[in-house]
Structure 1
Amino acid sequence: MEAAKTANPTPALAISGDLMVVTGGTHLLAARYTEATSDDLFTYDCSTASKKPQENQGENSKSSGKGSHDILACAFSISGTYFVLSDDSKQLVLFRTKPSWECLSIRTVVRRCTSLVITAAEDKILVADKSGDVYSYSISDPEKSGIVELGHLSLLLDVVLTPDDQYILTADRDEKIRVSLTKAPHNILSFCLGHREFVSRIFVIPNYPDLLLSASGDGTLRLWEYKTGKEVYCCHLSSLDICEATKNNMKCTVTKIAYYSEGSCIAVLYDCVPTVSIFQLDASARKLSCKQHISLNHKGWDVAFETTGGLWVLQENMQTPLLFYHPTDGQWQPATEENALRKMSNYITENWKFFEGSVGRESTYQNLYKASFDNMAVYLQKKNERLQQQKNKRKDLQPESNGEMKRIRMGTPSL
């Protein structure tokens, strides 16, 4: 059975060292944002990549389907040496970024990708798809077909690895977070159960690798000791008064999570709420504390920290597509005069046609919420209608005078 469809993908932002990548529609834009030169932009168009010959695809080739070529997911390797993306036409494109950008391979995945990650050893790519499976693709043999590693019975929304590559963690539409052994994925270590809606994002804390952060359509952020499946903290986002929209019972679903190790700071971006929230992790107390809300004038698409703690926000606006916030005295303050900000903003503005198809799109997760049916209310309404009908019928049969009623009860014939 075909998995439920998600909304069209939104543009994405990824940073590794001094390299920044922005994806929009079918295109990738990449540049070293800290350098002063303005002629180092690398672009890639997935719609033209499909025209290249694809060899050694094995049985996967028969599953290739026609799509829009919009980029669905992308990721850097830990060192930034590799970058991988997957598009709506089921292409998996692997790049080497050093010393310069080079496309190593274009392979076909079996189903459309929802999330992907590169192992810390930088030898494999794990791809989660809409049918609930996770496939692995070799980096050392960039033309080799994928191998299925594990499967769910539900649409997968995210996949991550622990820093030591020992465990694969997957999140699905049916509220589950599954922890599996990487070397034997059929061996399930634990489940993290507690969310009431789909799990939109999961993130293993790099400097506290025994902790997992998860976000869900139920409007919560939760911390887990994932090896035992124990929930240790839950934050109800609606209680934070993030913005005026949340006071009107709008759902606070987290779409993006970024992390800055030095201060144990977590930035989250919401679906349909133009705000970035900054939390600080207290690992010893196993809790999160909200430090700051950054209001945006436009819809946020993605968020990322750089190595020095600066916070980048990609948003839905041609004039100011990028925002940059610098940490000052424990708060992130806007910095508008940064050369890197001007350079990368110009690149995006000049190529805004790649992003136009994403402007004005609705909620990323609108089709994933549970549909509620209040059968009891319908039953009670029909019951009340029946009782009222019976009451009206008794009134129609009731004699008109009390004397008439009395004679009937005593059995006396009326005159």
Structure 2
Amino acid sequence: MASSAGLALCGQAVVVRGGSQFLATSTASSDDDSLFMYDCGTAEKKPQKDKGEDGQPVEKGSDTILASTFSTSGSYFALTDDSKRLILFRTKPWQCLSVRTVVRRCTALTFTASEEKVLVADKSGDVYSFSVLEPHECGRLELGHLSMLLDVAVSPDDRYVLTADRDEKIRVSWALAPHNIEAFCLGHTEFVSRIFVVPDHPELLLSSSGDCTLRLWEYRRGRELHCCHLASPQEPAGPWSDKRFAASRITYWSRDSWVALLCDCLPVVCIFRLDAPGRQLVCRQQLSFQHRVWDVAFEESQGLWVLQDCREAPLVLCRPVDGRWQTVPETAAVQRVSAHLHRNWAMLEGSAGVNNGFSGLYKATFDNMATYLEKKEERLQQQLRKKRHKNPPPGPNRQTKRAKSGEASWSG
């Protein structure tokens, strides 16, 4: 599953990734010269055999970064790449701590709240934990699904591990004994692309799916509280008409409980307000952009940062003005980061034609009734031909003799 460019913000640290590289810097005005760059192509690689156990050639990775995240405090940063590696960094100052091998290509990762472990979800449906305190220890299998995992999260108290898979399920497992399942959050009708535990309301979970909905859950009980349909058949002229899409990012701003949803393959960001006491989401606005939006993230003191496919203006800052979200003039911090991106634009150029791969996760739907009826008719015709072959109809000579015999007896 290919990955487009990504954006991550935590405190005063900001990371922008593209292809096999990422750029890290600070939003603080006193750190004008702070810049850390890393290329996964230069990381140590595990020797690969030319052929696997089945005798087939081993597929080699491209070093493209598939997923990345900060720890809660921002002290650590981790990424996984297409070469099946987990790379861990310390951020103060930036330093690569370890490069470890994962079993399968990963789709998502997260730190535990205690920052003692990194949880990595992979394409085979497994979650492995890797120690942060012992950065060279091998991973440990924690839990598994029967289908591909698309996201993983932990509760703020580290009691629960939440996993989302391709088969519409969200599982809530005990962190200390992952084979014990607390609840399932069931209701989505397509793959669950993203899950997000609300920091201010740790009992609440947001989830997005290929069924074009954003849902709010009380996850420990597996109870759905509210469902927002992002595509409405009553609005055929809207930006969602004739499109199937999933959210590639859910991000949250604790100031006034704003939620931003980035819709995959659409240059649109949906803005919601979380009404926690009322246990519902209120759709407030849709922000449209002229360029493809790669990623979005809230910065606590400034607003919503938008990373877009535009070398002249790679970052856009949005804020609520008189209750309406809109683009505002760049701050000094945005200008500094944008200048770094402009000088290192080659890092992002390869992301222009890449999507998050959700289009290939939709279930194939087809009507096999016509094929069934056609085959049924063929079987009936075959049976009819066999019956005719065993019991041929009377020939014309026999019919004539019978007719003459009848006439003779009648005349007598």
TM class by shorter-chain length? 0.7 to 0.9
The aligned runs of 1:213-224 (5 Å cut-off) are 213-224=206-217
Amino acid in structure 1 at the alignment position of 2:353:
G
Asked whether the equivalents of residues 300 and 315 of structure 1 are also in contact (C-alpha less than 8 Å), the reply is: yes
Specify the alignment match of 2:81 in structure 1: 87
Specify the alignment match of 1:337 in structure 2: 330
What is the aligned-residue identity percentage?
A: 56
Structure 2 CA distance for aligned equivalents of residues 128 and 306 of structure 1: 26
2:187 to 191, 194, 198: 194
2:128 to 127, 135, 156: 135
2:196 to 203, 215, 224: 203
CA 1:135–1:382 in 2, change beyond 3 Å: closer, same or farther? Answer: closer
Asked whether the equivalents of residues 309 and 327 of structure 1 are also in contact (C-alpha less than 8 Å), the reply is: no
- Per-residue deviation at 1:331? 2.5
Partner-residue secondary structure (3-state), 2:33 = coil
Alignment pair present for 1:23 and 2:17:
yes
Asked whether the equivalents of residues 3 and 354 of structure 2 are also in contact (C-alpha less than 8 Å), the reply is: no
CA 1:169–1:316 in 2, change beyond 3 Å: closer, same or farther? Answer: same
- Per-residue deviation at 1:346? 1.5
CA 1:243–1:129 in 2, change beyond 3 Å: closer, same or farther? Answer: farther
The aligned runs of 1:45-60 (5 Å cut-off) are 45-50=39-44
Structure 2 CA distance for aligned equivalents of residues 241 and 127 of structure 1: 39
Amino acid in structure 2 at the alignment position of 1:34:
A
Specify the alignment match of 1:35 in structure 2: 29
Specify the alignment match of 2:392 in structure 1: none
2:163 to 170, 177, 187: 170
- Per-residue deviation at 1:224? 1.1
2:257 to 238, 254, 264: 264
Asked whether the equivalents of residues 65 and 89 of structure 1 are also in contact (C-alpha less than 8 Å), the reply is: no
Query: Rg bigger for which structure?
Result: 2
Partner-residue secondary structure (3-state), 2:361 = coil
Runs of 5+ consecutive residues of structure 2 not aligned to the other structure: 48-57, 381-406, 408-412
The aligned runs of 1:192-341 (5 Å cut-off) are 192-239=185-232, 244-247=238-241, 249-341=242-334
Asked whether the equivalents of residues 4 and 356 of structure 2 are also in contact (C-alpha less than 8 Å), the reply is: no
CA RMSD of aligned residues (A): 2.4
- Per-residue deviation at 1:34? 3.0
Q: TM-score if structure 1 supplies the norm length?
A: 0.84
Alignment pair present for 1:154 and 2:147:
yes
Structure 2 CA distance for aligned equivalents of residues 52 and 374 of structure 1: 47
Q: Give 4+ residue runs of structure 1 displaced > 6 Å after superposition.
A: 381-387
Q: How many residues align?
A: 371
Structure 2 CA distance for aligned equivalents of residues 363 and 71 of structure 1: 12
Structure 1 CA distance for aligned equivalents of residues 236 and 192 of structure 2: 20
Amino acid in structure 1 at the alignment position of 2:341:
I
Structure 1 CA distance for aligned equivalents of residues 24 and 148 of structure 2: 30
Amino acid in structure 2 at the alignment position of 1:277:
C
Amino acid in structure 1 at the alignment position of 2:195:
I
Partner-residue secondary structure (3-state), 1:238 = coil
Q: TM-score if structure 2 supplies the norm length?
A: 0.85
Partner-residue secondary structure (3-state), 2:240 = helix
Alignment pair present for 1:14 and 2:8:
yes
Specify the alignment match of 1:56 in structure 2: none
- Per-residue deviation at 1:337? 3.5
Structure 1 CA distance for aligned equivalents of residues 42 and 237 of structure 2: 42
